[in-house]
Structure 1
Amino acid sequence: MVNCKLILATVAVVAPIAFAQTFQRLGGCPSLGCILPPDQTDFLAGQYFDIRLEVHAPVNGSEANGGIPDEKFSFTVAKTGEAAVSAASFFNIEEPALERWNFSWYEDLFAQDNKFPSIVRVTSKAYRRVALYKPGEYVATLTYYNHTQTVANWVVRPLSDQKKAKNVIFFIGDGMTTNMITAARLIGHKSINGRYQTTLQMDKFPVLGHQMTHSLDSYITDSANSASALYSGHKSSVNAMGVYADSSADPFDDPKVETIVELLTPLTGHTRLRSQYGALIDQALRGVSNYTWTKFNGPDVFFGAGAEQFLPGAGSWQGKDYYAEFAQAGYTISLNNTSLQTVSNSSKALGIFCTSNLPVWLDRNVYTDVLKTFKNDPSGNKQPALDLPGLKEMTLKAIDILYERGGGKGFFLMCEAASIDKQMHTLDYDRALGDLLELDDTIKATIEKLAALGEINNTLIVITADHGHGFDRNAIGYYANSGLSQYTVQNSSISYNTGVDFPVNWDPRYTLAQGLGANPDHRENFRVHKDAPRIPDTNITGHSHNDFYVNPEDAIDGFIINGTLPTSADQGVHSLTDVPVFALGPCQELFGGVYNNIDIFFNIANCLGLARDDNATGTILANSTGTVTNIPVTGAGRNLSIERKLWTGLMLFQLALGWFMATLIEVDSSMTTTTVTTTATTTATITVTTSTTTTSTATTFTATTFTTIQSTDPVIQKAQ
């Protein structure tokens, strides 16, 4: 059956990736036959993923081949040393339907300037929710156009020997580089004769490494796909989250990969366009609904901002009231910090504290009058939101909820300081460094909280960034004239209580002469922007939206610095620099050295014992008579036939609009073995015996196929 998608996907939809002065037709696909996941992809054993095949037939341009894509292409998969078989046979699934669509792209800047796109016709198939279970090398081969082949070499990483960490906390400083950490230490901690009297909490971590942030098809990455690499072990393209970007017009049909939070909890978020904020919120509440995917049990905690995506109207998904949607699903709703602190730790909680981005630490603690200039109340009443929690308050409350709801059985937490990046983009360095110091203060408070709970020795803490910025101190003059910090010298005319690990003076005579390697034209006075977050460039011509020049109201007593970006850019951009990784706790030794960003996912997954090499469902679905005994239930306990959840998980992070998420599941860690007995009759009779350290129970039920099994025993979960 052919599913026709005769859609012309414009260049804005396909979003081709810049490569010098040329573009790529599709990231990860240099030939006319595309396999996604592409060549050089690694997998965790048992990690679910989709496969997208595309055969391209350019109508015009330098690659034109007549514009008739091959409909009879074939695709095989083989483990090294074994015979190749069709993908449908290899994964024991039905052959998917053939799909068709068209898309357009620009081959280079000349074609773009002349508005002369190349048209490509496509035939495609998508294999949904498959997995590889045995460690080793695999070869996937797409054959098309009279025996032309595209080959993808895949690797399933070796399994971990044992689960070493009970808990994992993953801190992300968005855009945070080593240079920024150095600058934050300089302004937040006093130095006498070249020796710091105190240091950052990060400085005290025993293991330091560096990760390479490059994306699938570019040396310089964005936040969405770099975060996706950290959470899934798979690199992707700009704006993609939890998917490999294909060429179709639909941002939600791209091939997905299972993330670490889905392996643990699960919580879901998959799209080619991270700007689909409303749809991502709906996925977080309900899961992926358009395709079969990991079973979804729902998150337990959402904290952050972006209220316009929750209020009914144009900003939310399908205009729905997501406050009401979450309340109907059993969530307690908080719209300010006071309410947040009164939420029961045993309750599922949604906390949305303002529209747009959460105001930064400097405005919430030092220049508090700035808050009164915003019209960002989460109720949508156009009033300022003044009762705001910070990163530390949300994180500590999330830990309280997680620990109580999970009964101390273990958790996974992600916490992102997103506005480090946002303020670096707008060259507002003081606000960026303030949020970096807030992140470090949150890490310090988290360690103290874990110690009080008796969990510090059971917890792996990892701190890193998703990418870097070209930030440094632009010291004026030679080394001897570069000067020392005035941020740690108390000014008697300024009084605010921001803590020992923050500057005592945010308004010295001379601030750091800070700079970016890639920025737009702007005016600079090297002073703190007290009245509002900085807007260095604006459209003053009245022409197109991408016509930006120096903002005449920014740093009016400064001087103009010529930038290195075109007038279509109003902010600084990311850099290709490696970023630091700090680690403390069980498995900390895995994070030393220099490695790829995807290795962070594999290190955390192995520390939690998430890899699985069993596929009991495949055995039972073969309709053979027999018994599968002693199926190991370790780590996340993820058998495909019987899903016994063995972890309490929490996720806390900040997305593009500055909102946080958390999710939690409760488990019974006493389960040790599962016995499944099947009888191959027209209607199979299946007996499941669950043995724990204290009891043994049997549940018998019938089903025509194992995937339709239903059980009243809460221990038995339907395989998805």
Structure 2
Amino acid sequence: MVSSMCRLSGVLALLATSLSVVSVNGQTFQRLGTCPTLGCILPPDQQDFLPGQQFDIRFEVHAPKNGSEAFNDGVPDEKFTVTIAKDNGRPKSIASFFDLKKEPSLEKWTFSWYEDLFAQDAKTPSVVNVASKIYRRVALYEPGTYTVTLNYYSGKKTTATWVVRQLATKKKAKNVILFIGDGMTTNMITAARLLAHKSINGKYQSTLQLDKFPTLGHQMTHSIDSFITDSANSASALYTGHKTTVNAMGVYVDSSPDNFDDPKVETVIELLKRIWGSAWGAVSTAFIADATPIALTAHTRSRYEYGALIEQALNGFSNTSWTKLDGPDVYFGGGAEQFLPGSASYQGKDYYAEFAKKGYSVSLNKTSLLSLPNDKRALGIFCKSNLPVWLDRNIFPENILKLKNDPSGASGPAKDIPGQKEMTLKAIDILHKRGGKDGFFLMSEAASIDKQMHVLDYERALGDLLELDDTIRATIQKLKDLGELDNTLIVVTADHGHGFDVFGGADTKYLAAQHDKDDRHKRAAIGVYKESGLSQYTVEQPGVSYNTGPNFPVNWDPRYVIAAGTGAAPDRREQYGVGKNGSRTPAAALPGVGVSNDYYVNPTDRTGGFVVNGTLPTTESQGVHSLTDVPVFAQGPCSGNFGGVYSNTDVFFKIADCLGLGHPTNKTIGGGKGKGNGNGKWD
């Protein structure tokens, strides 16, 4: 995903003397998204916890100096107090409840925010002074309801109700494989099926592997303070059971100026390593520091701290009070920029070398990937930025030769690039060997379903969805061959959706013939209802062979194609049919017209089509995410728990229940013993 998805992102600019912090819900500006009052508790009200899951607690007292909320002459209450009570029992101070040896130091800072669009236009920020304390690395072990009360300003109160769930302590699945089709919706799955699987008189002769899963549910993707989510906070919800704010991962966003000091919450990977010592890995067709793969270990409000987040994944969080990991067992994807020494890597270090120092086998191409030993930890970085999409790797390979993405830093293109299937199958071999009786956790992401939907390149998005389905099919066979299928929970879902659908068919030959006609004439090429016709993607074209095997279209360039679109897009021109020259740029800033972030129909994109007016602000050059619920498919141990409609956070709790992560007391932690004292302290 790209920064243009973040609505009103300009609000987050640094001011001369203070940090401007805002969370956006539609066009409603908020002082702090999780804090409607002048007293803030993070984690906020209505949060659920896994028994024993470690987290930090931040308390803030705000004193606005100006604006509609101006209070107490801008002087925050530094003598606030906090209590916590379980199941309506006697309240205790935070320090005594968690048996802390001393209170944390008081912190103070100033931040600014805009109250609305008028204030932003006028550049008149509201300034807020803050007094705060943070309690690091605590946990709640006993299931029940906890009430946290912040007392401040001589009578004001803010309360938060937390629930610790009752979850299983017995491991029911040895392994978990979580497939994420980034941005994938039911409508996209339907369209992909239409492209790749033949039907006769309305009946499919074959179907997707997804169609064969025994359990189907849906998850609601809302963010903690906005109803449209991005991939960072939605991945965080899937991996921690806690919602957060746009661009944040593994933390609750506070108002401090530091991107890395926000209150953290333990991820499924940190829990799994701490409790069972299982192997784990991540595979992505994006750059490996992108939100979905990196959120497994990330704790930051800014997904854009790419280099630092690779360091965090390898060596753990720099705050020594937090759980430390020792790197993944498998890391496969793109993103050589964060590994090559230079401005994009952490402190300019060579991270190929940093991983190698820890005993990793390092691979930079498909050939070396397939020959990696299964008993060693493995790093595979196969290009700069994101991997080229399936359609260009398999149908239009000449587009790959235009790129300058060699992962070694050489100037040419990366040519020997694996796909999601090759990376996933090799990851399973390594994780199976290294995990042994303790099993493994693997996240495998089809990232460019989302990335191509953003640029309205529907065929490329659907090609990557079909690659995901092909990968799932091959994974099931691989697990059968290893004797692990019955021991493995497989979950397939998305992190969010796009407002995509197919509404008819388009006659590309007729549309091209209308080149000298106006746009209203060109639109006659769109057929709806009975004129939409049947899929031509499964009809062989004489003299054309794509050699991509079953379960993919046999003809990517038929005369009659799907007419598709999204509910949120910039001004663009639609021609329909596959773009043979690479991914689209639907809108562009025109030289000499407007300003650099004012986007118009790209004059070089789909030149034979007709103009479609956008629905987004003209500062947006791409499509954005939508409200839609997204599907959850499951098979294997515990798969029956994934039916129904539920929050994205429940995906974490369902996986945690199946892995027996519900109570870590007296479990082995990195060679030592961890023991809870019954009310929350981790010794």
* Matched residue, 1:548: 599
* Matched residue, 1:83: 90
Q: Superposed, which structure 2 residues align to 1:463-482 within 5 Å?
A: 463-475=492-504, 476-482=526-532
Distance between the aligned counterparts of 1:282 and 1:470, measured in 2? 35
Is the Cα contact below 8 Å between 1:10 and 1:105 reproduced in 2?
A: no
Q: Are 2:220 and 1:191 equivalent residues in the alignment?
A: no
How far 1:53 sits from its partner (Å)? 0.8
Distance between the aligned counterparts of 1:197 and 1:536, measured in 2? 35
**Which range moves more in the overlay, 42-51 or 495-504?**
495-504
Is the Cα contact below 8 Å between 2:88 and 2:147 reproduced in 1?
A: no
Instruction: Count residues with an aligned counterpart.
Output: 622
Code of the aligned partner of 1:68: V
How far 1:169 sits from its partner (Å)? 0.8
Once the two structures are superposed, residues 62-104 of structure 1 have per-residue CA deviations (whole angstroms, 9 ceiling, x without a partner) of 1011211110011111111321111111111221100011111
Q: Are 2:166 and 1:115 equivalent residues in the alignment?
A: no
Q: Superposed, which structure 2 residues align to 1:329-340 within 5 Å?
A: 329-340=358-369
Once the two structures are superposed, residues 516-562 of structure 1 have per-residue CA deviations (whole angstroms, 9 ceiling, x without a partner) of 00000001100211111111111113554321111111101111100
* Matched residue, 2:469: 440
Distance between the aligned counterparts of 2:440 and 2:655, measured in 1? 13
Distance between the aligned counterparts of 2:175 and 2:261, measured in 1? 33
**Which range moves more in the overlay, 475-484 or 209-218?**
475-484
Once the two structures are superposed, residues 247-290 of structure 1 have per-residue CA deviations (whole angstroms, 9 ceiling, x without a partner) of 11111001100010111126621110001110100001100013
Question: Which of 579, 586, 594 is the aligned partner of 1:536?
Answer: 586
Once the two structures are superposed, residues 629-687 of structure 1 have per-residue CA deviations (whole angstroms, 9 ceiling, x without a partner) of xx5x5xxx5699705xxxxxxxxxxxxxxxxxxxxxxxxxxxxxx9x9xxxxxxxxxxx
Is the Cα contact below 8 Å between 1:16 and 1:23 reproduced in 2?
A: yes
Distance between the aligned counterparts of 1:226 and 1:549, measured in 2? 30
Is the Cα contact below 8 Å between 2:503 and 2:528 reproduced in 1?
A: no
* Matched residue, 1:135: 143
SS at match of 2:400: helix
How far 1:234 sits from its partner (Å)? 0.0
Question: Which of 362, 386, 390 is the aligned partner of 1:357?
Answer: 386
* Matched residue, 1:519: 569
* Matched residue, 2:639: 588
Q: Are 2:623 and 1:572 equivalent residues in the alignment?
A: yes
TM-score (norm 1): 0.84
Q: Are 2:175 and 1:167 equivalent residues in the alignment?
A: yes
Code of the aligned partner of 2:186: T
Is the Cα contact below 8 Å between 1:537 and 1:551 reproduced in 2?
A: yes
Q: Are 2:304 and 1:253 equivalent residues in the alignment?
A: no
**Which range moves more in the overlay, 240-249 or 158-167?**
158-167
Distance between the aligned counterparts of 2:320 and 2:133, measured in 1? 14
Q: Superposed, which structure 2 residues align to 1:116-515 within 5 Å?
A: 116-160=124-168, 162-265=170-273, 268-475=297-504, 476-515=526-565
SS at match of 1:330: coil
Is the Cα contact below 8 Å between 1:306 and 1:355 reproduced in 2?
A: yes
* Matched residue, 1:668: none
Is the Cα contact below 8 Å between 1:539 and 1:549 reproduced in 2?
A: yes
Distance between the aligned counterparts of 2:324 and 2:577, measured in 1? 52
Distance between the aligned counterparts of 1:332 and 1:367, measured in 2? 31
Is the Cα contact below 8 Å between 2:148 and 2:160 reproduced in 1?
A: yes
Is the Cα contact below 8 Å between 2:21 and 2:255 reproduced in 1?
A: no
Is the Cα contact below 8 Å between 1:269 and 1:283 reproduced in 2?
A: yes
Once the two structures are superposed, residues 572-616 of structure 1 have per-residue CA deviations (whole angstroms, 9 ceiling, x without a partner) of 0000000000010111111001111000100000111101163xx
- RMSD of equivalent CA atoms: 2.0
Distance between the aligned counterparts of 1:297 and 1:415, measured in 2? 20
SS at match of 1:240: coil
Distance between the aligned counterparts of 2:334 and 2:442, measured in 1? 18
Code of the aligned partner of 2:79: K
How far 1:478 sits from its partner (Å)? 4.2
How far 1:323 sits from its partner (Å)? 1.1
Is the Cα contact below 8 Å between 2:19 and 2:112 reproduced in 1?
A: no
How far 1:324 sits from its partner (Å)? 1.2
Distance between the aligned counterparts of 1:311 and 1:20, measured in 2? 39
Question: Which of 32, 40, 51 is the aligned partner of 2:46?
Answer: 40
SS at match of 1:406: helix
Distance between the aligned counterparts of 1:70 and 1:466, measured in 2? 40
SS at match of 2:74: coil
Distance between the aligned counterparts of 1:209 and 1:35, measured in 2? 33
SS at match of 1:440: helix
**Which range moves more in the overlay, 545-554 or 439-448?**
545-554
Is the Cα contact below 8 Å between 1:303 and 1:351 reproduced in 2?
A: yes
Is the Cα contact below 8 Å between 2:198 and 2:205 reproduced in 1?
A: yes
Is the Cα contact below 8 Å between 1:519 and 1:573 reproduced in 2?
A: yes
Code of the aligned partner of 2:272: L
How far 1:564 sits from its partner (Å)? 0.3
Is the Cα contact below 8 Å between 2:633 and 2:642 reproduced in 1?
A: yes
Is the Cα contact below 8 Å between 1:265 and 1:297 reproduced in 2?
A: no
SS at match of 2:60: strand
SS at match of 2:562: coil
How far 1:499 sits from its partner (Å)? 1.5
How far 1:326 sits from its partner (Å)? 1.1
Once the two structures are superposed, residues 480-538 of structure 1 have per-residue CA deviations (whole angstroms, 9 ceiling, x without a partner) of 22221110001123212112100000001122111000000001100211111111111
Once the two structures are superposed, residues 402-427 of structure 1 have per-residue CA deviations (whole angstroms, 9 ceiling, x without a partner) of 11122354111111111100000000
How far 1:320 sits from its partner (Å)? 1.0
The alpha-carbon distance between structure 1 residues 404 and 565, as it changes in their structure 2 partners (threshold 3 A), is same
Code of the aligned partner of 1:63: E
Is the Cα contact below 8 Å between 1:473 and 1:514 reproduced in 2?
A: yes
Q: Which has the higher helix share?
A: 2
Question: Which of 643, 648, 652 is the aligned partner of 1:597?
Answer: 648
The alpha-carbon distance between structure 1 residues 478 and 331, as it changes in their structure 2 partners (threshold 3 A), is closer
Is the Cα contact below 8 Å between 1:213 and 1:226 reproduced in 2?
A: yes
Question: Which of 550, 556, 559 is the aligned partner of 2:610?
Answer: 559
How far 1:163 sits from its partner (Å)? 2.2
Once the two structures are superposed, residues 451-472 of structure 1 have per-residue CA deviations (whole angstroms, 9 ceiling, x without a partner) of 0011111111111000010000
Higher RCO (CA 8 Å, separation ≥ 6 residues):
2
SS at match of 2:136: strand
Code of the aligned partner of 1:376: N
- Any unmatched runs of 5+ in structure 1? 1-7, 615-630, 644-673, 677-706, 708-718
Distance between the aligned counterparts of 2:405 and 2:33, measured in 1? 38
- Any unmatched runs of 5+ in structure 2? 1-12, 275-295, 505-525
The alpha-carbon distance between structure 1 residues 10 and 257, as it changes in their structure 2 partners (threshold 3 A), is farther
* Matched residue, 2:673: 642
Distance between the aligned counterparts of 1:240 and 1:102, measured in 2? 21
The alpha-carbon distance between structure 1 residues 639 and 379, as it changes in their structure 2 partners (threshold 3 A), is closer
The alpha-carbon distance between structure 1 residues 641 and 335, as it changes in their structure 2 partners (threshold 3 A), is closer
Code of the aligned partner of 1:82: G
The alpha-carbon distance between structure 1 residues 223 and 73, as it changes in their structure 2 partners (threshold 3 A), is same
* Matched residue, 1:623: none
How far 1:126 sits from its partner (Å)? 0.6
The alpha-carbon distance between structure 1 residues 20 and 301, as it changes in their structure 2 partners (threshold 3 A), is closer
The alpha-carbon distance between structure 1 residues 478 and 427, as it changes in their structure 2 partners (threshold 3 A), is closer
* Matched residue, 1:60: 66
Distance between the aligned counterparts of 1:131 and 1:10, measured in 2? 36
Is the Cα contact below 8 Å between 1:216 and 1:236 reproduced in 2?
A: yes
